Amino acid sequence: MTLLVTGGNGFIGLNLVEHFSCLKTPCILMSDRPTNSSVLQTLQKRIPDFNWIQGDVRNSHDLNEICRRFEVKKIVNAAAITAELPREIVDTRKIFEVNLLGAVEVFECALRNKIDQVIQLSSGSIFGHLGLHDSTIDELNSPVLPETIYGISKLAAERTGLRYRKTRNLNLTVVRLGLVYGQWEYDTGVRDTLSLPLQLYWFAKEGKHAIVYDQIGTDYIYSKDVVQGLAKILEKGSSPEVLYQLSSGQVWSLKQWLDSLKTHFPNFSYEICSDKTLCNVGLVGPLLRSPMRTERIQKDFGFLPEFNQQLAFADFMKHYEGEL
């Protein structure tokens, strides 16, 4: 199996290439821009031989050439512009071109090149302010109301993927991710808000005082668990259902993360505040929402997260403190 990961210099792509390289499975990372040099150096120390190819997900020629050259059999479409309001205002067209029309190009390329399997990554941002409507979010019954251009474009790509599977027999699975954090996360230039766990790590490392807004998303899942879930779907080769939610299924504890950082960095201090005007971290980013239900992916693929918050913190620190 040769796996193509679009948006490959993002941290989900880097986690995927590390996982599959350990399994001796060829993995091609495609991105329209090079990986950050310091991230690339660290990756090359751990994975001496991997393929990064420059290409644009919106360009059918780039996709076709890579699929034919490397005899790609499976694709994970992780290409996306995760935009906050300033970028949304000036780059609306480009966001839709990458997040929606780029997905269409991937689907068409898969059909042309007889790709065995496609995974289209989606996002919990599609729920918008309705993310608290239900105590837990169900794949089919919980209401969606995306409000950002990012969320709207991801829902459109999600629904388009479902249509390709139904009408064109494309072996495609949509995987809706919770909030991902973990190793290899960095500013790629198209991801406007990095995860709150990483932002707080930077505050702690510098010995700053963090005033954290308490109305933030908490359905975090560790990056290595995301890769394990995607790997199970890829290894099985197809999915009984077209849509799955991949998250921890639990509420991530902000206070536990802050206390863990405080233990590791004694000069760090924090307070949790409900007055947004007083806060200096957590001001932008995903809305607060209920945990996603994960029974479907557990039943069909046997997926259970391996990293509770304590284990995730230990692994996170090893990576960012250069111990891995």
pLDDT one-digit tens code per residue, 138-184:
999 999 999 999 999 999 999 999 999 999 999 999 999 999 999 98
User: pLDDT category, 310, cuts 50, 70, 90?
Assistant: very high
What would the mean pLDDT of 254-268 be, rounded to a whole number? 97
Q: 3 pLDDT exceeds 70? A: yes
Measured in degrees and rounded to the nearest 5, phi and psi for residue 27 equal: -135, 125
User: pLDDT category, 25, cuts 50, 70, 90?
Assistant: confident
Bridge partner list, 82:
191
The neighbour count for residue 300, using CB atoms within 10 Å, is 16
Q: What per-residue confidence (pLDDT) applies to 11? A: 86
Separation CA 279–CA 291 (nearest Å)? 24
Are residues 208 and 291 in contact, defined by beta-carbon separation less than 8 angstroms? Answer: no
Average pLDDT, the chain: 93
Bridge partner list, 61:
none
What would the mean pLDDT of 17-31 be, rounded to a whole number? 87
What would the mean pLDDT of 282-288 be, rounded to a whole number? 83
Separation CA 268–CA 322 (nearest Å)? 20
Prediction pTM value: 0.94
Q: 230 pLDDT exceeds 80? A: yes
Are residues 29 and 17 in contact, defined by beta-carbon separation less than 8 angstroms? Answer: yes
Work out the widest C-alpha separation in the chain, in whole angstroms. 58
Q: What per-residue confidence (pLDDT) applies to 274? A: 93
Enumerate helices (H) and strands (E) in the chain, giving the number of each.
Answer: 12, 11
Bridge partner list, 30:
6, 53
Q: Report the range of poorest mean pLDDT among 91-95, 182-186, 256-260, 269-273.
A: 182-186
* Backbone conformation region of residue 169, classed left if phi is above 0, alpha if psi is from -120 to 50, else beta: left
Q: Report the range of poorest mean pLDDT among 18-27, 75-84, 213-222, 227-236.
A: 18-27
Where do the domains of the chain lie, and which CATH numbers do they carry? 3-183+220-249+290-305 (3.40.50.720)
pLDDT tens per residue across span 37-86: 777 777 777 776 678 899 999 999 999 999 999 999 999 999 999 988 99
The alpha carbon torsion through 260, 266, 267, 270 (nearest 10 deg) reads: 30
What would the mean pLDDT of 190-200 be, rounded to a whole number? 89
Q: What per-residue confidence (pLDDT) applies to 155? A: 97
Between 51 and 227, residue with greater pLDDT: 227
Q: What per-residue confidence (pLDDT) applies to 211? A: 97
